[in-house]
Amino acid sequence: MFQTQLNDQIAQTQAKAVEKAKHLAQVAVESAQELAEINQAAAKDALAAAQDASTQLLAIKDPQQFTKLAQPEVAQEAAKYATAYQAKVNKVIRNSNKEVAQVFDASIDDARDDLVKFVKESTKTAPAGSEAFVSAFHTAFDASLQQFDQIRATATDAFANFEKSVDAAMSNIQGQYAPKSAKKSAAKLAA
């Protein structure tokens, strides 16, 4: 009887794991699709901007017209475009990170619940005279359940650190795209 219960619980746990893996795969596919759409739109916009710039360059008749094309406003427009692109990518990354964190959190809860259920079922059918052993086992088991909380805390820290890394990377990239005058203004404000 015990072996049948064990096999059933293992089968249920494996089925849950497969469902969660399918869900994570779906999240990955959706994120990849969103990123592909963002990149396709960015490529389309870049091509249109390049065609526009080519048209303007071909229309130049004298050097003064060329200097007008190389104004800081053009660079600022490119920086705005890059910042908007980054914001879209950042949103997709954050949403998928949040979804993965939720699935991981639910997995921890499910594993803990399944383990508690298994131990309750197993100790319920313990033979007479094993109360001291069952009590000692429950004490050790309860202490081991605290590991689930530590795993959850570690996972939460890992997801938070990932988001901080993404934020730092985005800030670094935005700093590279910021126009020189904006960098000087930011340096003056910081001083």
pLDDT in tens, 123-167: 887 788 888 888 888 888 888 888 878 888 888 888 888 888 888
Residue range 32-55, pLDDT digits in tens = 999 999 999 988 988 888 888 788
C-alpha closest to that of 173 among 85, 94, 93, 95: 85
Residue range 55-73, pLDDT digits in tens = 877 887 877 777 776 677 7
The pLDDT of residue 179 is 52
60 DSSP 8-state letter: -
Report the SS3 class of residue 55.
helix
Per the listing, tokens 């081991």 go with 144
Q: Do residues 166 and 94 touch, judged by C-beta distance below 8 A?
A: yes
% pLDDT > 70, the chain: 86
Contacts by residues 146-151 (CB-CB < 8 Å, ≥ 24 positions apart): 148/108, 148/111, 148/112, 151/108
Average pLDDT, the chain: 80
